[in-house]
Structures are given as structure tokens and as C-alpha cells.
Amino acid sequence: MEYFNLSEPFGAGAGGVLKTVGGQESPFRITTVGPGFVYADTTELDGAELTVHHEAVEGLDGTEVTLSAWVDGPGEAQLAREMSDEVQHSCERDLAALAALLEG
């Protein structure tokens, strides 16, 4: 990601704009905020929505951080094929950054 800019305070329903490196700006909104470190954001794409769920849970062996992403909408099959590698790599980078933040 090049940037995520929220236009209002963080919380369910808050919106903003994001930009991927080399991509264009897209609107997004926070769709879920749960207890602890749990939230999801949904980005509006052409023909579908991309949702990324972030969760950090403290366990016996430290903090377990998971990210999952899915596409919903009429264009989901095509977008999933086009974006799967990019989203996988993005999630891996985001997961490492989130883990470092939580451990720091």
C-alpha cells in the first residue's frame, strides 16, 4: 500500500481513500471493529468489493496475527483471479508490519 487515509475517526462505518503502489485511489470503509485488535476494511472495486480482515489474539506463545481477504460481488471470480497473487503478497507484508507493531 502506498497509503490509507481515513477521513473520519477510526470506527465501524468510517471511510477514506487508499492507494496501492502503482495503482489508483479507491474508496474504502471500516466494516468491522471487534474487541481487542480486530477490524476489517472493505474497498470498492470495479464490479466487486475486497474485504481484508485483521485480527490479533494474545495466546500462550505470544500474539497470533491473522489476515484474510476475500472478494464479493458480480465481478468476484475475475477479480480474484487477477488479484490473488498481489493480495497474497500484500497480506504477507501487512501481516509482518502488524506483528512488528504489536510486538513493539
What pLDDT score does 31 carry? 95
Q: What is the CATH number of the domain that holds 44?
A: 3.30.530.20
Give Cβ neighbours of residue 80 (< 8 Å, ≥ 6 apart): 71
Going by the DSSP 8-state scheme, the letter that residue 23 receives in this structure is S
Going by the DSSP 8-state scheme, the letter that residue 87 receives in this structure is H
**More confident position, 31 or 37:** 31
- Provide the number of structural domains found in the chain: 1
Residues 76-87: what's their mean pLDDT?
A: 76
* Beta carbons within 10 angstroms of residue 37's beta carbon: 15
What pLDDT score does 60 carry? 80
Residues 29-58: what's their mean pLDDT?
A: 89
Domain carrying residue 42 = 3-103
Helix, strand, coil proportions of the chain in percent (round to 5)?
A: 25, 50, 25
**Which residue, 17, 84, 77, is CA-closest to 47?**
77
